[in-house]
Amino acid sequence: MSDSSASPQTSRTHIVRDFASSDLFDRTFKEGMALVEETASYLDGDGRRDSRLLSREDALVYAGESMRLTTRLMQIASWLLVQRAVREGDMEASDACDEKYRISPLSADATENTKTLPGGLLNLLDRSNRLYERISHMDKRMFIDAEPETAVNPVISQLQRLQSAFSADNINGL
């Protein structure tokens, strides 16, 4: 029997299970959690010291960027923990397919005045952005690209309507 009889939900469920048990997930999970820990350590230690050395304006930029950083990392960690819950059998793969567990787009209104920020923060921002983009790509591949094409081609739909309207049965009725 071919796999084409499988529902889109079943297909996504298999993709989620396969990913959760993959080496790629292992590496991504370790990288993400290590980055969360490293960021927390930096913001509570060297980052706190570094931010005190900044001008008032730069300190505001630092605060905004560090909030963006922690928000991004919270999304990453949440997504990874859902995948781990599937792997460990604590969550059904079908439940993990729910929209509420998707990675959300982040606002693109990052400050452009980051040149004066400490190198440690800039490094964490860059690494978290790259990890977020990779996970966002994985999420899209698992949940959006895995969905079947359900949209009707508007050109074909219009041609079918015209063909129906001008069919022999409709013309004879005129």
Specify the amino acid at residue 100.
Answer: K
The Cα–Cα gap between 20 and 84 comes to 6
Per-residue pLDDT tens over the stretch 101-123: 988 877 666 666 778 899 999 99
**pLDDT < 70 regions, the chain:** 1-9, 107-112, 145-155, 157-165, 167-174
pLDDT of residue 60: 94
Question: Which pLDDT value is given to residue 30?
Answer: 98
Q: Looking at residue 171, what is its pLDDT?
A: 53
Paired tokens of 174? 């005129």
Residue 95: both structure tokens together: 């439940």
Q: Residue 38, CB half-sphere, CA atoms under 13 Å: how many?
A: 14
* CA-angle at 111, arms to 110 and 116, nearest 5°: 135
* Cα 28 → chain centroid: 13
Q: What's the longest Cα–Cα distance across the chain? A: 86
Q: How many distinct structural domains can be found in the chain? A: 1
Give the domain CATH number at 151: 1.10.8.930
Q: What is the pLDDT of residue 143?
A: 78
Q: What is the domain extent for residue 158?
A: 3-172
